[in-house]
Amino acid sequence: MNKMLNKVPQITLIFWIIKVLATTVGETAADFLSETLKLGLSGTSYVMGAILLIVLFIQFKCKRYIPAIFWLAVVLLSVVGTLISDNLVDNLGVSLLTTTILFGTALILVFIVWYFSEKSLSVDSINTTKRELFYWSAILFTFALGTSAGDLIAESSGFGYAYAALLFAGIIVLVFMAYKFLKLNAILSFWIAYILTRPLGASLGDLLSQPVKDGGLGLGTTVTSIVFLVIILILVIYLTIQQKKHNHI
């Protein structure tokens, strides 16, 4: 079964902070590469897709969780998930409602196959290659789904980036409260929160980077991407140092 140590970090506050930051970067970095650097959606998709495949190959070759590689894969999946959604909507003319339903259905199918194969959707035992394949497939679809759902609510509905971010943040808080006080299943709570952090991050990214006339704060994709990437880097370095200390105990 190609047994290994668990390839996913412990679910802590830092985990969720980096996850939201990574999803925000996914939104702003995709816009930065395709629009600011003029690579276009197709060019950006090819470049980032190739880099993602290389990083995932390295991730699968590792026998344990390595913070830098794991979180680099998450950031790249966030960017690629955004690009998949944007390509379908902007290049192929598929509606946001359709892509939201499409990615939602794909994610449900991954969960169904994963559960019937492994009898659990827990991320506490991602210690075989098969489980890791299920895990990263689910992550990709959560990012693509989150981008479409976030854009659908923030743009198509006229809800606005700020209110959309508050909406998703509020639902995440409610899920946490249900888990903490109403004993909502831990695995279900995790995946609901994980899915919702994507549209939260997408809405935050657009709120910070988009022009004021479009409902954003006008910081631009360059500044937003750099600031968030620096924060992610600092946190990943901290996690790496902590892991090394733990391994030497």
Per-residue pLDDT of 116-168, as tens digits, reads: 999 999 888 888 899 999 999 999 999 888 888 877 876 666 677 788 888 88
φ/ψ of 182, rounded to 5, equals -110, 5
Q: Indicate whether 100 belongs to any domain.
A: yes
Distance CA 126, CA 121 (A): 9
Q: Indicate whether 1 belongs to any domain.
A: no
Higher pLDDT, 173 or 164: 173
- Amino acid identity for residue 81 in this structure: G
Q: How many domains does the chain contain in total?
A: 1
Q: Indicate whether 159 belongs to any domain.
A: yes
Residues with Cβ < 8 Å from 239, sequence gap 6 or more? 9, 14, 67
CB distance 83 to 44 below 8 Å: yes
What is the span of the domain harbouring residue 97? 13-247
Distance CA 87, CA 212 (A): 25
The band of 1, judged by pLDDT with boundaries at 50, 70 and 90, is very low
Q: Indicate whether 7 belongs to any domain.
A: no
Q: Indicate whether 151 belongs to any domain.
A: yes
pLDDT in the model for residue 248? 60
Kindly list the distances between the CA atom of residue 117 and the CA atoms of 2, 18, 107, 113, 210, in Å, as whole numbers in the listed order. 16, 30, 15, 6, 43
